Structure 1
Amino acid sequence: MRTRLDQTAQREGFIVAAPQGAIPAPAGFVWNVPFTGTDVAGAPDDVAFLQDLIGTLVDGGCVDGSRVYAAGYSGGGRMVSQFACEHPELVAAIAPVAGLRAGAPLTAGSAVPDPATCIPSRGVRVITFNGTADPVNPFAGGGAPYWGYGALAASQRWAEINGCHTTKDTRVSPNVSLVTHRGCPQNAVVQQYVVNGGGHTWPGGNAAAFPGAGVTTQEISANDLMWSFFEQGRLSRN
């Protein structure tokens, strides 16, 4: 896997389920993310698909329903973001990479999210990763109509949804900073790793697997950081 998440799972002892979107696209297949151009008549209902997948894994005894986490890259990150908007009861946390959303843009290409398209019934812990030189989903916003608002606007909106009250900026490596939204009920914190000069890539992943997508930083490992974040959330509930 280009994310190397399978290696992290083997080392740490957790299960990875890797579902895939089914809408044909030039680069392979894409997800049917609600409120986007793929949300067309006849397309698979991928929110229901993920809901059924989680139900099958939990009901079959494969996983603990209180420890289901959703990570995704690019369109997969947008998919898990929207899934959390609609089914926060099914995920303990999400980890979108180069794709965090908090609902659709208010209008096509808008610089702010539409609050009516993401109204989860409870807060969701969020850890996310974005490169400032992302050529696909621009860090500052713009790009494709489905994108619109930028990465910081997305994390700020999740902080509002989660009821967070304080924000802290920390430098974690020469080219990576961390924005943490804290003081959130039920410890529904929001963490955003910002990679200066980073591309549309997975930090710590296989750089050769992201041709033309910009720099893949090795200063941090998205896998290690998201797993630590997931475990911290579990321990805080005990």
Structure 2
Amino acid sequence: MCRTLLTGLLLSLVAGTAPAQQDCARGEVACRVADGSYHVRLPDSAAAQPPAVMFLHGYGADALAMIRNPRVTDALLARGFAVIAPNGRGRDGADGGGWSFMPGRPQRRDEAAFLQSVRDDAVARFGLDSARIFLGGYSIGGSMTSYIACAAPDSFAAYVPVAGSFWRPHPDRCAGPVRLLHTHGWTDGTVPLEGRPLRGGQIMQGDVFAAFQVWRAANGCDGLRATRFDTSGPFWRRAWTDCAPGSALELALHPGGHLVPDGWADMAADWLATLPPR
């Protein structure tokens, strides 16, 4: 009798949780954590513990729009990555909107703690490889990525921001060496490489080249000049390799504007594959 009751209880628990996890993994249904939510999609032919790219949406967007973006999601899924899209937090506390990273501005949420909780929840729910969870983002999602990489570089295995970096004032220093590939459009007018003032100069976007001074210092790179160059493909790439062991630093420029360019996901996947385990 006791065995029968126990079996029935276990079956009811499985029946109650499995559909929720399955729906959450389809991408359209949000997974909930203590301070927010995220969407996730898993590769069709996933390895036992697939790697994942957590990718942060831009201003005014949300995680559902991000998880539906074929330039990011479909290409990464095809390369065997799971894709995790957390929701930013709007001014009214609603999902989506923005991210709290601006220097000297009120913070709507502890974003580092939130993103780490999303990471841990996704690893536990879906059996992802905890050592290969990477963080990226577009526009202010790229800025949020850069601030996490600077303040808590060990939170994720590597960082792949697109079209978003530090804001002024730039950080004086970062907590330690990073592994970071920054991608930016040569003709970006929304987040220019040199940055720009907004709201009548109340806030100012940062300079990507100044950000790389911060990254080089964090990585202990010898000299200012890049040591490896590649202009053979759609991206103009420069890397700093004479740096701290285990670090990686690269800038990839493309001729377009403020967007995630075609081919970015494959380039990022190839770059991530070159990194040794942490």
Residue 142 of structure 1: aligned partner = 196
CA spacing shift, 1:67–1:35, aligned 2, 3 Å = same
What is the Cα deviation at residue 33 of structure 1? 1.6
**For 2:235 and 2:137, how far apart are their aligned partners in 1?**
20
**For 1:133 and 1:75, how far apart are their aligned partners in 2?**
17
Report if the CA contact (8 A) 2:195-2:206 is conserved: yes
Report if the CA contact (8 A) 2:238-2:251 is conserved: yes
Residue 84 of structure 2: aligned partner = 17
Q: Deviations over 1:141-177 (max 9, x none)?
A: 3333554431122123212211122513634247742
What is the Cα deviation at residue 10 of structure 1? 2.3
CA spacing shift, 1:96–1:158, aligned 2, 3 Å = same
**For 2:160 and 2:254, how far apart are their aligned partners in 1?**
15
Residue 40 of structure 1: aligned partner = 106
Question: What one-letter code is carried by the residue in structure 1 that aligns with 2:180?
Answer: V
**For 1:237 and 1:13, how far apart are their aligned partners in 2?**
17
CA spacing shift, 1:146–1:52, aligned 2, 3 Å = farther
What is the Cα deviation at residue 67 of structure 1? 0.7
1:194 aligns with 2:236: no
1:81 aligns with 2:146: yes
CA spacing shift, 1:86–1:59, aligned 2, 3 Å = farther
The size of the alignment, in residue pairs, is 203
CA spacing shift, 1:169–1:230, aligned 2, 3 Å = closer
Percent identity, please. Answer: 26
**For 1:146 and 1:126, how far apart are their aligned partners in 2?**
25
Report if the CA contact (8 A) 1:137-1:147 is conserved: no
Root-mean-square deviation (CA, aligned residues, Å) is 2.5
1:53 aligns with 2:108: no
CA spacing shift, 1:10–1:149, aligned 2, 3 Å = closer
TM-score (norm: length of structure 2): 0.65
**For 1:62 and 1:124, how far apart are their aligned partners in 2?**
25
Structure whose CA Rg is larger:
2
Residue 154 of structure 1: aligned partner = 211
Report if the CA contact (8 A) 1:65-1:90 is conserved: no
1:129 aligns with 2:180: no
Q: Deviations over 1:191-230 (max 9, x none)?
A: 111124x2111110xxxxxxxxxxxxxxxx1101111111
Residue 105 of structure 1: aligned partner = 168
Report if the CA contact (8 A) 1:100-1:155 is conserved: no
1:226 aligns with 2:268: yes
CA spacing shift, 1:178–1:147, aligned 2, 3 Å = farther
Q: Deviations over 1:68-103 (max 9, x none)?
A: 1001000100111111222222211100000123xx
TM-score (norm: length of structure 1): 0.75
CA spacing shift, 1:79–1:160, aligned 2, 3 Å = same
